[in-house]
Amino acid sequence: MSQRRDHWSSNAGLVLAATGSAIGLGNLWKFPFITWENNGGAFVLVYLICIAAVGLPIMMAELLIGRRSQKSAVGALKEAVASKWPGGRRLGGLVGFWGVLAGFILLSYYTVIAGWSLFYFFKTVGWTFGGYPAGMSAGDLFGAQVSNAGLQLALSLGFSVGTIAVVYFGVNKGIERIARLFLPILFGILLLMLFSALSMSGAGEALAHVFRPNFAELEREAVLEALGHSFFTLSLGMGAMITYGSYISRKLSVVKASGAIVALDTLIALIATVIMFSVIFSVAGMREQVSGSTVGMLFISLPELFYSEVPFGVVLGPLFYVLVALAALTSTISLLEVVSAYLIDQRGIARNKATIGAGAAIFVFTIFAALSFTGEGILSTMEIFKDKVGWFSTADHFVSNWMLPTGGFFVTLAAGWFMTREATRTELMDGSEPRWFHYGAWRFFIRWVAPVAVAAIIIAVIVGVDFS
Ligand code: TRP
């Protein structure tokens, strides 16, 4: 273990890798859907406030905890807690491990949806060249796809192998290189889609729906849902950003990077929402159809509309699923890196073995998730939490509702209460911090605002509110 630790080669490398982690299915799939369910405008505004008041301070906290210790989640949290409370090392380590476990579980089912993007990519390429089959029901196609066990296993295996292959090559040659290559492509495709969507008849209504707040429509639970989602979308609460932070060298600014990551993630979520809503509002009967299901928009409504309604849809269709796949891949690599980095840093296992071992172990659970939609067998019928049927929903419920908020709560305590003022100050005010940043304000948010807000989520979950 005497090797030098890999570091991001530049600020851009760090920002692209971490933004790649943050931008994922949460932005393209979850955010548009919850915005739809919560009637737009006011919800979006609340979300932006949550991102700024809770997400951004915790992003800085995670990156600084990682950078200070130069260790991944477990080692970093041990050191953070021990700075004022030497006896608390064990607790810090346990919380880090809780994060590693969250990464393990999240990756096991995230891969399944990521695999769907491969299926739709191949389908849309076929339709682009062969024409959309007349009379085919997109809903039936989706149903047949998810309930086909062999297909599901093949798709998730393909995606898992891709993820392992990137992480295998390490921080610079794997993760950073892929992020540098794929994120610009992702932005490019999204912009093309935005131009196309804005030329549709429903674009004006879509923009109004997203950006014009109507507080009469806002329910109390929506505030907590926005808060919960800000954790998920920024990859917080489970040590992913601590791990990426541990690859930051002394030369790069945590504050600047956090600002860029959070801003880009938010921008992409908003753009994705405007695109989806423009399509929905342009097509008669679409509103009713969308309300029904979470996966509906991305994998049932859109595929068909590319070939009937969306300008340049025959080109944008396949490109869109490339976008989903790339967004998912830059997230799955960061999830696998959390688990691998734990094995490398804490267990002294070599990267190649750690990556393949962790990837294979996680894939066992991916099999469970992939078989959750077959409609038969315990994997698709079990119900541990109320109304969460199947392994997939159970895992998603457990991670989004319980693991990320509790992990995030502890990160606020570690950075705000256990680390010394001097330590966090040195990490954040390193001479390259941007002018908008105010250390005292950060400290106030991380000590008071963020923990109280996160505690509210945890209490709501305990009394039975459901965010997944
Ligand atoms: N941020 C990812 C998304 O929006 C999901 C996610 C949550 C994640 N926690 C993570 C990704 C940790 C990587 C690492 O889709």
pLDDT tens for the chain, 468 residues long, are 446 799 999 999 999 999 999 999 999 989 999 999 898 899 999 999 999 999 999 999 999 999 999 999 999 999 999 999 999 999 999 999 999 999 999 999 999 999 999 999 999 999 999 999 988 888 899 999 999 999 999 999 999 999 999 999 999 999 999 999 999 999 999 999 999 999 999 999 999 999 999 888 888 889 999 999 999 999 999 999 999 999 999 889 999 999 999 999 999 999 999 999 999 899 888 877 776 655 677 888 889 899 999 999 999 999 999 999 999 999 999 999 999 999 999 999 999 999 999 999 999 999 999 999 987 787 888 887 877 778 899 999 999 999 999 999 999 999 999 999 999 999 999 888 999 999 999 999 999 999 999 999 999 999 987 776
Report whether 25 contacts 327 (CB < 8 A). Answer: yes
**Closest protein CA for atom 7 of ligand 1:** 235
- Residue 21 one-letter amino acid: S
73-82 helix and 56-69 helix, angle to the nearest 10 degrees:
90
C-beta atoms surrounding 420 within 10 Å? 10
Q: Biggest alpha carbon distance in the chain?
A: 68
pTM of the model: 0.96
Q: Is the CB of 335 under 6 A from ligand 1?
A: yes
Tokens of 165: 């292959």
Q: Is the CB of 330 under 6 A from ligand 1?
A: no
**Closest protein CA for atom 9 of ligand 1:** 235
Q: Is the CB of 25 under 6 A from ligand 1?
A: yes
CA 233–ligand 1 middle distance (angstroms): 6
Report whether 261 contacts 19 (CB < 8 A). Answer: yes
Q: Which ligand 1 atom is the nearest neighbour of the CA of 24?
A: 15
Mutating to test ligand 1, I would choose from 27, 35, 106, 183 the residue with most ligand atoms within 8 A of its C-beta, which is 106
Three-state DSSP class for residue 402:
helix
CA 135 to chain CA centroid, Å, is: 35
Q: Which ligand 1 atom is the nearest neighbour of the CA of 327?
A: 15
Measured distance CA(61)–CA(241) in Å, rounded:
9
Ramachandran region of residue 10, left (φ > 0), alpha (ψ -120 to 50) or beta?
A: beta
**Closest protein CA for atom 8 of ligand 1:** 235
Mutating to test ligand 1, I would choose from 110, 112, 323, 331 the residue with most ligand atoms within 8 A of its C-beta, which is 331
Residue 29 is classified by DSSP as I
